[in-house]
Amino acid sequence: MTGTTRLAPDTALQRLEELGRSSDPSNYIVDGIPPRLALELASPETVAEALALCAAAGLALVPWGGGGQMGLGNLPERYDVALDLRGLAAVVDYEPDDLTIGVQAGCTLARLAAILSEHGQMLPLDADDPERITIGGLVATGLGCPRRFGYGSLRDLIIGITVALPDGTLARGGGMVVKNVSGYDMMRLHFGALGSLGVIVRANFKLLPSPEAQRTLLVAFPSLEEAMEGALAVRGSQLAPTALVVLAPVTAERFIGMARWTLAARCEGPEGAVLRQAERLRETAASATSDARILEHEETLRFWSSLQGKLGATPLANVMRVRIGELPSQLGELAAQLVTEWGSALEDAVLDVGSGLAYVTVAGTVEELRGAWTRLAGYGRHATMLAAPGDVKAGYDVFGRHPEGVAVMRRLKETFDPERTLNPGRFIALL
């Protein structure tokens, strides 16, 4: 077999520094481990070059956006270089009348939302720290929000991608049109692959018109069973809320000051229609023993943004967050089991009934959290540790039970990243 000679690591590090600006490695800690070099890059070409240098020298690289989702991933197998992509933040291609946008990976959600709102458009995403979360981070982690119930997730809206590969090339897939079957779906290959097959430098999306008005119906129930019954009645109706969740009492108290199992349904559309929709949702969900109220437009935005903070992968100290996939009709049973097992250790629990996902945050010592994971990993259809201190992760696969097809994933890794340059060890099955 032929191959290329290796570059000495120190030579590679030196040449890497010439590509961009060095930054303080202590700001790029992954699970307690700092890199040897942190590098800010400002063009797709230099990213590709950096990847090739790392690959040639056998260095391990971690792509970095805002760092807001860095809780997700296994302990790094090696970690030499952090690649800060926040300098790669241009909106490359935006024609509002086409309802499409092409944006570089380092663009923050806040900046993107500001540009889109000038034209009455949006990507239906929520974030509690939009100044920090980057588009590249959202695509790489594939973490969604409850609005997927109404609009689909970012996975449904991505129409094009450009990635830098360890062979030093930039490869595109898709394009700038909303309907496209030309070639393989490279967008979904990289969506949620944690940058393990390529570093995302640009993504294109189809956009949505911003709704004129928003309201949120909140209904507090005396029991989990009644709350789930209400939520499933809404799910089965034609009332089409854009998000539908049930909050555990501890979480409901934190966000809306009612320590009860609480249903939240989001309505988006023309002003008059939204008010009527919220009213009809109340009629469908509420019971004799429940209390309902409606959040106004601004309150609605605040509520869902801050709630997202309990559904993400921000690195956490002293607590562990787990995402469990389960059929909407089974989420109630799952929640009951969680309450029985963890009781007061349950810091937060949010049931995304629209999607079929439960988000659980558990408090405890490292040993307690490790014990909790061994049980939680077996729950539902799938379970993922979204964030936890590095000591909790050690020796486990945070992606839980492996789906079928891991052998194919391994071959993809061998093909696209033969030197194990990109996030080695951090993705599923320690890929």
Partner 1 sequence: MDRAAIRTRLLEIVGPDGLLDDPDELLVYEYDASDEVFAGHHRPDFTVLPRTAEQVSAVVRLANEVGLPVIPRGAGTGLAGGALALRGGILIVLTRMNRILEVNERDGYAIVEPGVINLELSTALQPRGYFFAPDPASQRACTIGGNVGNNSGGPHCLKYGVTTNHILGLEVVLPDGERIWTGGPVPETPGVDLTGVLVGSEGTLGIVTKVMVRLTRLPEGVSVLLAAFPDIESASHATSAIIAAGVLPAALEMMDQLTIKAVEDAFHAGYPREAGAVLLVELDGLQEIVAENTGRVAELCRQHSAWEVRVARTKEERDLLWLGRKSAFGAMGRLAPNYYLVDTTVPRTKLPATMRRVEELSREYRLSIANVFHAGDGNLHPLVLFDRHRPGEVERVLECTTEILRYCVDVGGTLSGEHGIGFEKRDYMTLVFTTEDLCAMAGLKRSFDPRELFNPEKVLPTGFRCGEVALLRQQALAQRFGLEYV
**Using CB under 8 A, which residues numbered 27 to 86 contact partner 1?**
49, 52-53, 55-56
Rank residues 136 and 192 by Cβ distance to partner 1 and give the closer one.
192
The conformation of residue 42, written as its DSSP 8-state character, comes to: -
CB 200 within 8 A of CB 157: no
Q: Tokens 């000495």 belong to which residue?
A: 8
φ, ψ dihedrals at 55, nearest 5°: -65, -45
With CB under 8 A as the contact rule, which of the stretches 58-66, 84-92, 265-273, 282-290 interacts with partner 1? 265-273
Question: In the complex, what is the shortest distance from the CB of residue 252 to partner 1, in angstroms, rounded to a whole number?
Answer: 23
Per-residue x/- track, 355-394, partner 1 (CB under 8 A): xxx----------------------xxx-x----------
Alpha helices by DSSP H, 343-396? 366-376, 390-393
Among 20, 328, 332, 424, binds partner 1 (CB under 8 A): 328
φ, ψ dihedrals at 49, nearest 5°: -65, -45
Among 77, 117, 131, 276, binds partner 1 (CB under 8 A): 276
CB 48 within 8 A of CB 4: no
φ, ψ dihedrals at 251, nearest 5°: -75, -40
Rank residues 375 and 402 by Cβ distance to partner 1 and give the closer one.
402
Rank residues 149 and 304 by Cβ distance to partner 1 and give the closer one.
149
Which residues, 6+ apart, have CB-to-CB distance to 180 below 8 Å?
Answer: 159, 160, 174
Among 18, 24, 26, 179, binds partner 1 (CB under 8 A): 179
Rank residues 37 and 154 by Cβ distance to partner 1 and give the closer one.
154
Question: In the complex, what is the shortest distance from the CB of residue 238 to partner 1, in angstroms, rounded to a whole number?
Answer: 4
Rank residues 120 and 378 by Cβ distance to partner 1 and give the closer one.
120
Q: Which residues pair with 81 in a beta bridge?
A: 37, 61
**Distance between terminal CA atoms of the chain?**
23
Question: In the complex, what is the shortest distance from the CB of residue 146 to partner 1, in angstroms, rounded to a whole number?
Answer: 11
Among 188, 254, 297, 302, binds partner 1 (CB under 8 A): 188
Rank residues 253 and 279 by Cβ distance to partner 1 and give the closer one.
279
Among 142, 309, 390, 425, binds partner 1 (CB under 8 A): 142
With CB under 8 A as the contact rule, which of the stretches 1-9, 107-115, 254-262, 335-343 interacts with partner 1? 1-9
From CA 371, how far away is CA 368, in angstroms rounded? 5
Question: Does 133 engage in binding with partner 1 (CB under 8 A)?
Answer: no
> Element (H or E) spanning 40, and its range?
strand 37-40
Which residues, 6+ apart, have CB-to-CB distance to 368 below 8 Å?
Answer: 345
> Cβ of 323: how many Cβ atoms within 10 Å?
24
Measure CA 13 to chain center.
Answer: 31
Rank residues 224 and 228 by Cβ distance to partner 1 and give the closer one.
228
Rank residues 183 and 222 by Cβ distance to partner 1 and give the closer one.
183
